[in-house]
Copies of this chain bind each other. A is one copy, B any other.
Amino acid sequence: MSMNDLITPALLLDKGKMLKNINKMRDKFKKHGVSLRPHLKTCKSIDVAKYLVPDLEAGKITVSTVAEAEYFSKGGYRDILYAISITPSKLARLHKLQQRGCQITLITDSLAGFQQISDAASKLKTTFPCLIEVDCDGVRAGLKSNDPELLVLAKALHEYPNTELAGVMTHAGGSYNCESLDEIKQMAETERQIVLDAAHAVRGANLPCPIISLGSTPTATYGESFEGITEVRAGVYVFQDLVMQTVGVCKKEDIALSVLATVISHNVPENRILIDAGGLALSKDTGKPNELGHKHFGQVCEAVTGHPIQDLYVSSTNQEHGLLYLDDLPYNFSDFPIGSKLRILPNHACMTAAAYQGYEVLSDNGSISEFYPRCHGW
C-alpha cells in the first residue's frame, strides 16, 4: 500500500526513525547499567511496545490509565507501574490484573491517598506495592523530599498489611520548559539528587526503598549521572515531537510521527491554504512557538520525503480544517495544488496520536506496510 491509498487525515509512523529513537535511549541506559521502564502513554500500542520493551515477561513498563494497564497486560506485560496517583474506584480493575499474574505498582503522595489505597486493597483482599511520588521541580505532584509527611507515609505504606513500600519516584516535567541543554543537564542532576534525598531519608528511617525511579525524555536524554537510580522512565522519545525539538532533545528529522493531510481548498483573498487535518487530527496543543515566534499546530512537510517546508506551519485549526497562512512566505498556491498531500509534524506526539485508531507504518521504502492499533479511553 502507498501513502496515496490512505484516507486523510492519517497518522504515519516512520518505523526507521522510531527504531533509531528507541535504540539510542536503550543504548544509553545499557551503558549506565540502569533499567529503563518506558512510559507507554505516548504510543498506547502493543506493536510499538514490543520494540521498546522486547522482553514481555521480564520487561518493565509505565502506564497512565487503567485501560492501558489492561491492554498491555493482555498483550503479555507483567510488571506495570501506574504512574498517576490512583483513585480507589480504579483498584478493582487493577486487582483483576494482579489475579492474572501482573505486578501492579501504584504511586501516592499523601496519607489520604495511602489510606484510600489501603482500605480498597483490604476490601479486595490484596496488597499493592506503592512508590512515593516526590516533587523535584514544583510543576506537578509529589511531596518535597524534606517534607516530614514523607517518612510518615513511608512508614504507613510499609507497616499496613495491604500496601507495600516499593520505593520513591519523581518526574522532572519542568524540563519541558528548559531553554538550553545545560539547563536540562542541571535539571537532570537536580531530579536525581532530590529523589536520592528522599530515598536516603526513607532508608535512614530503616525502611526499605528498593526502587528509586525518575525520568522525563529531556532529563533521560541529557542526564549525565544516574548513580543510585534503579530505573528511568520516559515516553515521548519513542516518537519525538516539536516540543522536544524546540527544547533541544531531538532534531526535526528524528520525529517519527506525522499526520498525512490533503490540501482541500485555497482561500486566495485571505492567502491561506486549507488542509483536512484540523484540531481533532493534530490536537489543540500549541506546544512551543516556532522559529518565527508564532503559536502553531504543527510543522508542514513534503508528503513523500517528510522534509520540513521552511517556515510553513499550521497557523490555526477548526475541528476538521487546518489553515496554513502563507502571509509573506515565498510560496504560491500552485506549490500546493488542491488534492495534493502534505505531512504535519506534531507539537505533542502523545496528544496528536490520541485521536487515531492506530498508526500507518511507513517503511524505509516509502510504502505503508503495517497498521498498529492503539488503545483508548480510561
Chain A positions near chain B (C-beta within 8 angstroms): 4-10, 41, 64-66, 84-90, 93, 109-110, 112-113, 116, 133, 135, 138, 140-142, 144, 173, 262, 264-267, 269-270, 274, 276, 279-281, 283-286, 318-321, 323, 337-339, 348, 350-351, 354-357, 376-378
Contact = CB atoms under 8 A, between A and B. Distances in A.
A320 B9 contact: no
A352 to B, nearest CB: 10
B285 A279 contact: yes
Contacts of A356: 377
25 contacts: A7-B66, A64-B319, A64-B320, A84-B276, A87-B262, A87-B264, A87-B276, A87-B339, A89-B262, A110-B266, A112-B339, A113-B338, A113-B339, A116-B338, A135-B270, A138-B269, A140-B267, A141-B267, A144-B269, A280-B354, A283-B284, A286-B286, A356-B377, A357-B376, A357-B377
A169 B311 CA distance: 33
Nearest to A338: B112
Given A112-B337, A338-B113, A141 B274 contact: yes
Nearest to A141: B265
B110 A141 contact: no
A86 B377 contact: no
Nearest to A87: B262
A42 to B, nearest CB: 9
A177 to B, nearest CB: 12
B319 A142 contact: no
A264 B41 contact: no
Contacts of A90: 7
B88 A264 contact: no
A141 B316 CA distance: 13
Contact of A89 (B8, B267, B351, B355): B8
A82 B112 CA distance: 51
A251 to B, nearest CB: 24
Contact of A65 (B86, B320, B350, B354): B320
Contacts of A376: 357, 376
Q: Which of A9, A109, A140, A378 gathers the greatest number of chain B CB atoms within 10 Å?
A: A378
A354 B355 contact: yes
A88 to B, nearest CB: 7
Contacts of A348: 284
Among all A-B residue pairs, the 8 with the closest Cβ atoms: A85-B264, A112-B338, A284-B285, A87-B262, A141-B265, A284-B284, A64-B320, A85-B265
